[in-house]
């Protein structure tokens, strides 16, 4: 720490007593140290150290002085006053030292005190006393010595005191201020040097390229290690200060001009940023261009390249996820809508048509219930793959949830061509799926709406396609339907449906239709299957395909199922009373939930006894998925019901995951070959062979076999040839209301 002599020692300070003057010099030195301390802040010596030094000074010096004065002028008034003055000094320093914290204001106060001490005590009091002592030592009397001392304390001394005090004044007002400022600057410069070192360390250690160019010619000003290394490794260019864009982009013609344009934009517009896909590594940089200003004038452009590759990848991943179905990775509904909009605008240009297909798997819920969600998921993926293989470049396959798929066929062509394509899809889905070791056979239904014929926008067309799908399902599934404005059924969302269904039961809007079952050989009527219908005031007559799954999901199927059992038993009991014969049986479909929830045994007993129906005339229809679900419990319930006399049929046999062992394990009476299977036996020799095998196996197990969905005589004939026992289908009759069924039976006998 340099010492600045603000108060240089002046020969007028001398008292002529060496022992005193040495110590006064020491005080003046401490005074200068204090001034320097103030000017340079808290640099060493610290204020604390200064106070200690002053206290030491006072303790030593004052005793020397006081001894001297006392020796010459014992008990004289000036000696006493002088001692009091010393005491004040000690008191002042002591007070200063006791303060808990020391700040610059205190240091200034200290300086003030010392300067006045120098002016008042040392220059006046000490010198005068010293002159007295010197005079007495020369032999003068005390009074003579005092007189001469007063003479020596002439105007010059007063002038000197004035100079000291005004120096102090100026010092505090200007010099100290100036010096403080100076020290601040020096500190700032040191901090700047430090921060610059820190900055370049940081800037060099980052992997992000950072550089700056001159505003005048875009020559390189500064650059960090990242960009230096990049140019050295990728382009064998050694970057140097002052290089022009043309020089460091010598390897890439045209680049210099691109970069000059970037720089110019920063000069013209101020800070901005652009995304920049690097030619190497496919890295995406966010380039921040910032004008560098000095005194308000733009002197350069600083560029910082932030690597946002990870963020971009995450963004595109997020976009993918937002627009795709996680299970199948197919576009979701939103993306399908987007694709549809693109396709429809192309169609507007080319005068073409775009088809929107809503495709729904017919027995998916059963697969899920029977084999678990993992298998269900795998099946959905397999379905997606198979459908995808049938599509062209202008088509989109998406999944909108559950087993609902959406297809946009870009170049739809004629209605005939569309029907053919949709038919091909259904055909493809019929071939068994090999999933988790199961050979699953499923079918699907498709609703089609066409742009611009059926609607102008995606939402409208989707509604129309859903309505058409609804109709396809109601009509017995495994079918394609085109939207027709005349459809009197309205597809509504499941929630509204659920609420309406609950009310429907209370309001008695359900009814049963009966589809006759006949002996294939003799044509005799054996009974009927009770099929649920909902006569909704808003929707018209609704088929079970449209609401059974909602009723199952909501649990409503349990009370609805109880009602079906009671109603079927009541009406079947009435057939006998109406003279329709003694032996007509009634088939009632059961849902899995009725086994799991609710007391099925009690419900059946109540229904049968309440109606006065012979339990042998009631046949409960179960599906294979139900049998697989909770085999032991189901078997036990079946055994109890069997003891009562109730019969069991296995419904929808042949629709996939058929497990022949269930034919053995459960107390069944009848096998119902599913209509989707029956429908193709006329066309396909292989299917016919399988049908024959099923019938044989059923017979071998002691079961009667009934074929469902027979629509034409040829199929009936084929089944007859295959020794199928019984039949049910439109060929004989559609499901009929109870009264109409009674009429139908009467008409045949």
Task: Give the footprint of ligand C2E on this chain (CB under 6 A).
Answer: 476, 515, 531-532, 543-545, 548, 557, 561, 564, 589-591, 621, 651-652, 675, 708-711, 728-730, 735
Q: Does 478 bind Mg ion (CB under 5 A)?
A: no
Least separation in angstroms between residue 530's CB and ligand C2E is: 6
Rank residues 465 and 548 by Cβ distance to Mg ion and give the closer one.
548
Q: How many other C-beta atoms lie within 10 A of the C-beta of residue 509?
A: 17
369 interacts with, out of Mg ion, ligand C2E, none, CB within 5 to 8 A per kind: none
Rank residues 24 and 513 by Cβ distance to ligand C2E and give the closer one.
513
Rank residues 177 and 553 by Cβ distance to ligand C2E and give the closer one.
553
729 interacts with, out of ligand C2E, Mg ion, none, CB within 5 to 8 A per kind: ligand C2E
Rank residues 319 and 734 by Cβ distance to ligand C2E and give the closer one.
734
**How far apart (Å, rounded) are the C-alpha atoms in residues 432 and 440?**
5
Rank residues 400 and 589 by Cβ distance to ligand C2E and give the closer one.
589
Rank residues 122 and 716 by Cβ distance to ligand C2E and give the closer one.
716
**How far apart (Å, rounded) are the C-alpha atoms in residues 229 and 436?**
54
**How far apart (Å, rounded) are the C-alpha atoms in residues 711 and 518?**
13
**How far apart (Å, rounded) are the C-alpha atoms in residues 181 and 263?**
39
110 interacts with, out of Mg ion, ligand C2E, none, CB within 5 to 8 A per kind: none
Least separation in angstroms between residue 532's CB and ligand C2E is: 4
Q: Using CB under 5 A, pick the residue from 128, 621, 624, 725 that binds Mg ion.
A: 621
Q: Are 418 and 450 in contact (CB under 8 A)?
A: yes
Rank residues 465 and 526 by Cβ distance to Mg ion and give the closer one.
526
325 interacts with, out of ligand C2E, Mg ion, none, CB within 5 to 8 A per kind: none
402 interacts with, out of ligand C2E, Mg ion, none, CB within 5 to 8 A per kind: none
**How far apart (Å, rounded) are the C-alpha atoms in residues 645 and 546?**
32
Site for Mg ion in 495-514 (CB under 5 A): none
**How far apart (Å, rounded) are the C-alpha atoms in residues 244 and 258?**
13
Rank residues 21 and 629 by Cβ distance to ligand C2E and give the closer one.
629
What is the pairing mode between strands 670-673 and 704-707?
A: parallel
Count of positions on this chain that bind Mg ion (CB under 5 A) = 5
**How far apart (Å, rounded) are the C-alpha atoms in residues 169 and 159?**
15
Q: Could you give phi then psi for residue 302, rounded to 5 degrees?
A: -100, 140
Least separation in angstroms between residue 393's CB and ligand C2E is: 35
Q: Does 567 bind Mg ion (CB under 5 A)?
A: no
Helix axes 373-388, 364-371, angle to 10 degrees: 140
Distances, alpha carbon 356 to alpha carbons 325, 440, 458, in Å: 18, 27, 8
Least separation in angstroms between residue 528's CB and Mg ion is: 11
Distance of CA 618 to the CA centre of its chain: 55
Q: Are 490 and 690 in contact (CB under 8 A)?
A: no
Q: How many other C-beta atoms lie within 10 A of the C-beta of residue 507?
A: 12
**How far apart (Å, rounded) are the C-alpha atoms in residues 641 and 637?**
6
Rank residues 571 and 652 by Cβ distance to Mg ion and give the closer one.
652
**How far apart (Å, rounded) are the C-alpha atoms in residues 155 and 166?**
16
Please report, to the nearest 10 degrees, the dihedral formed by the alpha carbons of residues 517, 518, 519, 523 taken in order: 180
Binding mask 686-725 for Mg ion (x = CB under 5 A): ----------------------x-----------------
Least separation in angstroms between residue 710's CB and ligand C2E is: 6
Peptide bond into 45 cis (omega under 30): yes
Least separation in angstroms between residue 552's CB and Mg ion is: 15
Q: Are 630 and 372 in contact (CB under 8 A)?
A: no
Least separation in angstroms between residue 478's CB and ligand C2E is: 9
Rank residues 65 and 651 by Cβ distance to Mg ion and give the closer one.
651
Q: Are 477 and 362 in contact (CB under 8 A)?
A: yes
List residues bridging with 585 in a β-sheet: 527
Rank residues 15 and 589 by Cβ distance to ligand C2E and give the closer one.
589
Least separation in angstroms between residue 404's CB and ligand C2E is: 19
Least separation in angstroms between residue 457's CB and ligand C2E is: 32
Q: Using CB under 5 A, pick the residue from 33, 362, 651, 725 that binds Mg ion.
A: 651
- Residue of minimal CB distance from ligand C2E? 476
Rank residues 291 and 709 by Cβ distance to ligand C2E and give the closer one.
709
Least separation in angstroms between residue 576's CB and Mg ion is: 22
135 interacts with, out of Mg ion, ligand C2E, none, CB within 5 to 8 A per kind: none
The strand order across the sheet containing 395-401 reads 395-401, 404-409, 354-361, 444-451, 480-482
Helix axes 104-116, 47-72, angle to 10 degrees: 20
Least separation in angstroms between residue 347's CB and Mg ion is: 41
515 interacts with, out of ligand C2E, Mg ion, none, CB within 5 to 8 A per kind: ligand C2E
- Which run of H or of E encompasses 500? helix 494-507
Rg (CA), the chain: 54
Sequence-separated (6 or more) residues with CB below 8 Å from residue 51: 93, 96, 97, 102, 110
Q: Are 21 and 15 in contact (CB under 8 A)?
A: yes
Least separation in angstroms between residue 395's CB and ligand C2E is: 29
Least separation in angstroms between residue 442's CB and Mg ion is: 15
Least separation in angstroms between residue 394's CB and ligand C2E is: 33
What is the pairing mode between strands 297-307 and 354-361?
A: unpaired
Q: Using CB under 5 A, pick the residue from 652, 722, 724, 738 that binds Mg ion.
A: 652
| CB-neighbour burial class of residue 522 (10 A; exposed 0-12, middle 13-18, buried 19+) | exposed
Rank residues 331 and 729 by Cβ distance to Mg ion and give the closer one.
729
Rank residues 212 and 589 by Cβ distance to Mg ion and give the closer one.
589
Least separation in angstroms between residue 403's CB and Mg ion is: 19
Closest CA to 519 of 728, 680, 722, 326: 728
**How far apart (Å, rounded) are the C-alpha atoms in residues 573 and 566?**
11
Binding mask 571-590 for Mg ion (x = CB under 5 A): ------------------x-
Peptide bond into 452 cis (omega under 30): yes
Rank residues 103 and 713 by Cβ distance to ligand C2E and give the closer one.
713
650 interacts with, out of ligand C2E, Mg ion, none, CB within 5 to 8 A per kind: none
The tokens for 137 are 């030592």
Residues forming contacts to Mg ion in the complex (CB under 5 A) are 589, 621, 651-652, 708
């Amino acid at each position: 720490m340099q010492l600045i002599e603000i108060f240089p020692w002046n020969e007028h300070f001398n008292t002529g007593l060496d022992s005193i003057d040495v110590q006064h010099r020491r005080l003046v030195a401490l005074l200068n140290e204090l001034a320097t301390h103030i000017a340079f802040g808290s640099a060493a010596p610290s204020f604390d150290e200064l106070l200690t030094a002053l206290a030491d000074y006072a303790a030593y010096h004052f005793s020397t002085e006081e001894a001297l004065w006392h020796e010459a002028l014992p008990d004289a008034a000036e000696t006493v006053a002088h001692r009091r003055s010393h005491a004040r000094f000690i008191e002042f320093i002591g007070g200063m030292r006791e303060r808990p914290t020391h700040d610059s204001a205190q240091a200034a106060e200290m300086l003030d005190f010392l300067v006045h001490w120098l002016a008042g005590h040392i220059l006046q009091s000490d010198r005068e006393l010293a002159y007295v002592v010197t005079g007495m030592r020369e032999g003068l009397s005390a009074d003579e010595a005092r007189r001469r001392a007063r003479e020596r304390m002439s105007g010059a001394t007063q002038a000197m005191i004035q100079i000291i005090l005004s120096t102090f004044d100026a010092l505090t007002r200007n010099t100290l201020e100036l010096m403080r400022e100076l020290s601040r600057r020096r500190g700032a410069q040191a901090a700047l040097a430090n921060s610059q070192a820190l900055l370049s360390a940081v800037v060099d250690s980052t992997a992000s390229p950072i550089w700056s160019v001159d505003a005048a010619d875009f020559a390189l000003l500064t650059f960090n290690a990242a960009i230096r290394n990049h140019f050295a490794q990728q382009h064998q260019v050694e970057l140097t200060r002052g290089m022009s864009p043309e020089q460091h982009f010598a390897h890439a013609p045209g680049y210099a001009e691109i970069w000059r344009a970037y720089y110019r934009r920063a000069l013209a517009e101020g800070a901005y940023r652009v995304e920049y896909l690097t030619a190497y590594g496919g890295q995406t940089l966010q380039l921040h261009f910032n004008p560098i200003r000095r005194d308000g004038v733009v002197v350069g452009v600083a560029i910082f390249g932030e690597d946002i590759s990870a963020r971009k990848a995450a963004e595109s991943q997020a976009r993918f996820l937002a627009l795709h179905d996680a299970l199948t990775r197919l576009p979701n509904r939103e993306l399908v809508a987007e694709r549809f909009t693109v396709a429809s605008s192309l169609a507007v240009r080319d005068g073409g048509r775009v088809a929107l297909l809503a495709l729904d798997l017919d027995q998916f819920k059963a697969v899920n219930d029977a084999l678990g969600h993992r298998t269900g998921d795998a099946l959905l993926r397999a379905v997606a793959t198979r459908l995808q293989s049938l599509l062209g470049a202008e088509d989109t396959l998406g999944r909108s949830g559950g087993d609902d798929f959406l297809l946009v066929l870009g170049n739809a062509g004629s209605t005939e061509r569309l029907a053919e394509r949709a038919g091909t899809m259904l055909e493809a889905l019929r071939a068994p799926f090999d999933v988790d070791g199961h050979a699953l056979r499923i079918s699907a239904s498709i609703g089609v709406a066409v742009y611009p014929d059926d609607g102008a926008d995606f939402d409208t067309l989707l509604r129309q396609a859903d309505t058409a799908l609804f109709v396809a399902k109601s009509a017995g599934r495994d079918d394609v339907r085109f939207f027709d404005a005349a459809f009197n059924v309205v597809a509504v969302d499941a929630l509204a449906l659920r609420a309406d269904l609950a009310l429907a039961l209370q309001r008695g809007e359900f009814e049963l239709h009966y589809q006759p079952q006949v002996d294939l050989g003799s044509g005799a009527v054996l009974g009927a299957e009770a099929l649920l219908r909902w006569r909704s005031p808003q929707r018209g007559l609704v088929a079970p395909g449209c609401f059974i799954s909602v009723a199952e999901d909501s649990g409503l199927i349990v009370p609805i199922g109880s009602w079906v059992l009671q109603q079927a038993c009541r009406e079947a009991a009435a057939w006998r009373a109406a003279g329709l014969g003694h032996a007509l049986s009634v088939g009632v479909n059961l849902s899995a939930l009725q086994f799991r929830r609710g007391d099925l045994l009690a419900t059946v007993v109540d229904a049968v006894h309440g109606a006065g129906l012979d339990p042998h005339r009631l046949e409960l229809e179960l599906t294979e998925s139900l049998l697989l679900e909770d085999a032991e419990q189901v078997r036990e319930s079946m055994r109890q019901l069997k003891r009562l006399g109730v019969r069991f049929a296995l419904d929808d046999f042949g629709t996939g995951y058929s497990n022949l062992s269930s034919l053995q394990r459960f107390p069944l009476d009848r096998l119902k070959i599913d209509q989707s299977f029956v429908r193709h036996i006329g066309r396909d020799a292989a299917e016919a062979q399988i049908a024959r095998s099923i019938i044989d196996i059923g017979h071998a197990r002691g079961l009667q076999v009934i074929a469902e969905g027979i629509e034409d005589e040829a199929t009936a004939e084929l089944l007859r040839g295959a020794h199928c026992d019984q039949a049910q289908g439109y060929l004989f009759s559609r499901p009929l209301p109870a009264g109409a069924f009674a009429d139908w039976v009467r008409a045949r006998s």
